[in-house]
Amino acid sequence: MEPKMLGESIKVSNVLDVVAHPLREYAKTLSSILTAERERGFEAGSPKHVMDAALTAMLLASTFFLALTEKLKARIKQECEELAGSQCKISTRYDPDWGYVYEVKVDTGARKALEANLKLQEKFPGIPIVVEWAGQKDITDEELVDYLVKIAIKGGFRVEAPPGFNAVKVVRELREG
Total domains, the chain: 2
Q: pLDDT value at position 114?
A: 95
- In terms of domains, do 67 and 85 share one? no
Whether residues 86 and 104 share a domain: the answer is yes
Per-residue tens of pLDDT for the chain, all 177 residues: 333 333 444 444 444 444 555 556 666 666 676 666 666 665 555 666 666 766 777 777 777 777 788 888 999 999 999 998 889 999 988 888 788 899 999 999 999 999 999 999 999 998 999 999 999 999 998 899 899 989 999 988 877 777 888 888 888 888 887
Q: How far apart are CA 81 and CA 106, in angstroms?
A: 8
Domain identity same for 145 and 108: yes
Pair 74, 103: CB distance under 8 Å: no
Clarify whether residues 88 and 129 are in a common domain: yes
Q: Specify whether 69 is located in the same domain as 92.
A: no
Q: How far is CA 160 from CA 5, 98, 152, 164, 165, in A?
A: 33, 12, 11, 11, 10
Domain with 105, as residue range(s), is 76-155
Assess if residue 32 is contained within a domain: yes
Identify whether residues 93 and 145 lie together within a single domain: yes
Mark which of 74, 91, 107 sits at the end of a domain.
74
In a domain, 165, yes or no: no
115 & 61 share domain: no
User: What's the pLDDT score for residue 112?
Assistant: 94
Whether 150 maps to a domain, the answer reads yes
Residue 110 lies in a domain: yes
- Relative to beta strand 99-106, strand 88-95 is antiparallel
Is the same domain home to 66 and 81? no
Do 94 and 150 belong to one domain?
yes
Residue 81, in any domain of the structure: yes
Structural domain includes residue 98 = yes
Look up the CATH number of the domain holding residue 103: 3.30.300
Residue that is last in its domain, among 30, 53, 74: 74
